Structure 1
């Protein structure tokens, strides 16, 4: 029985900080599993008809979070999806009810890796007007207790490429499913 068979159509939701590799890893996972891939930021932009930066500028973070929740709610109604979420999706408690429709995977990249990947990125509203290292450290401190609620944690290092992260993610998901199946048999 393959991992795709064991998943039985259950969605995968990738959470973690911006720059952790959720979008690139999500696309690779979807291709491997024969799932569809969605990035919540891209879906929000398509629905709103404007980039995330413009939504933040014109309507604020709260309006963006509402759109993000609506997109997550709609996506969670489907099966066989890999969904890369925005880094702050975990900050809205009600989003967890949608995330728990599937397997939640935390791509955990250290601040040094995030800073290297995000330096010079001008498209991220939460990074505007502040020292990058300070902002990333602050956001990670706020979000880390929420990220730890994930079903699977995948450590992401500076030297890891997308294929390596995707392979490690699939192995950890498979391990999680097998251990849950073993627990169910014992109970």
Structure 2
């Protein structure tokens, strides 16, 4: 199985998994795409290596640092001063596909960008990609950024005109295309834009100015098109034929964020981190194994010994079923829950699943004094983890490395991610 992920801070909002996983399903490709949360780029890459990831996409704030980290960088990545796609192998090969996200939606609507007056709002990685792409097409570029010095620096690098942020509205009448790359709504007077203009946003989880553009008859291009076009090129770099079958829209429903399941192997810290996270979010914490023990009046080892693993998996499914419609919960699951296809499917459909990965040697050490029925010799333990690892990956909506982070740090990172998406 091929393994891919998106990294960033935050990253839980990313729609890349919906896009890539739909492509894999439609084409019958044995691959999975997930999200990796971390404090920094170094930890994210360490987690990628631990999980044998084949390729990643990167969002802010890691793009520029990735350029300095990869072994090889494409000319586009160097030109944009940032990497958003990395192919793993003997070397880390970095690329920038944002330039195609910035360019292709416009080329589908216009014969040429030559001499078109394009205003780019913002001066981050997306803005640099847009400047790089549009200047290659001989467009006349203007750039405006809240921090004037940063805007002037980027404008000078790409041969664009810099516009004072407070003067944006004064030039809108002469602009053919607005490329909006910042994640907040500013005081932009849409009434000043000519009806023949195009408003193109790079932000796909917000639709700033969509209604205002609609009322004025201005063509509005949503950020999903940027995401899809850059994703299509990244998919090709990952080694797939993406000319046909790549999604042209993202229709998959977002997973519920008010029903969280922590998944992973025994000893990964699900219960400890789960309690801390539930307290931070003001959610109810539920330990599925403890619920089963309480409901059955028997410990897990006793159930395994007297009735067998298959019987226990059926119990897991029954108790999990009672929680699928419950809101504002953090659920710590048992390490073997992915062995049941029924439980796997229920978690996939009803929960936001966070995989606490790590080194199996760490997990074995942490469970030294436990009575878990499947904690046998170290070789059996490690092989069992390796057998389940891809199942955890396929189920995951977000991954954290519990060999790097303490339960407190894990709960802090998840809380940060959820504060950004809830």
TM over 0.5: yes
Alignment partner of 1:41 out of 275, 282, 289: 289
* Compared CA separation, residues 103 and 8, structure 1 to 2 (3 A): closer
* 2:363 counterpart of 1:85: no
Residues in 2 aligned to 1:94 and 1:173: alpha-carbon distance in whole angstroms = 27
Equivalence map 1:12-27=2 (5 Å): 12-27=260-275
- Report the counterpart of residue 249 of structure 2 in structure 1: none
- Report the counterpart of residue 113 of structure 1 in structure 2: 362
Q: Which runs of 4+ in 1 moved over 3 A?
A: 171-175
Bigger Cα Rg? 2
Following superposition, the deviation at residue 8 of structure 1 comes to 7.4
Q: Which secondary structure does the structure 1 equivalent of 2:327 belong to? A: coil
- Report the counterpart of residue 347 of structure 2 in structure 1: 99
Deviations 1:130-171 (A, max 9, x none): 31x21221111110110102000011126x322111112233
Equivalence map 1:117-156=2 (5 Å): 117-121=366-370, 123-127=371-375, 130-131=376-377, 133-149=378-394, 150-156=396-402
Relative to the length of structure 1, the TM-score reads 0.82
Alignment partner of 1:32 out of 263, 280, 288: 280
Structure 2 unaligned spans of 5+: 1-11, 13-254
Residues in 2 aligned to 1:110 and 1:82: alpha-carbon distance in whole angstroms = 24
Contact conserved, 1:152 with 1:172, CA < 8 A, in 2? no
Residues in 1 aligned to 2:389 and 2:379: alpha-carbon distance in whole angstroms = 15
Q: Which secondary structure does the structure 1 equivalent of 2:341 belong to? A: coil
Contact conserved, 2:354 with 2:399, CA < 8 A, in 1? yes
Of Structure 1 and Structure 2, the greater helix share is in 1
Relative to the length of structure 2, the TM-score reads 0.38
* Compared CA separation, residues 91 and 56, structure 1 to 2 (3 A): same
Residues in 2 aligned to 1:96 and 1:59: alpha-carbon distance in whole angstroms = 22
* Compared CA separation, residues 38 and 24, structure 1 to 2 (3 A): same
* Compared CA separation, residues 148 and 15, structure 1 to 2 (3 A): same
Contact conserved, 1:152 with 1:173, CA < 8 A, in 2? no
Structure 1 unaligned spans of 5+: 179-187
Contact conserved, 1:40 with 1:71, CA < 8 A, in 2? yes
Contact conserved, 2:256 with 2:352, CA < 8 A, in 1? no
Contact conserved, 2:277 with 2:330, CA < 8 A, in 1? yes
Following superposition, the deviation at residue 9 of structure 1 comes to 6.2
- Report the counterpart of residue 163 of structure 1 in structure 2: 408
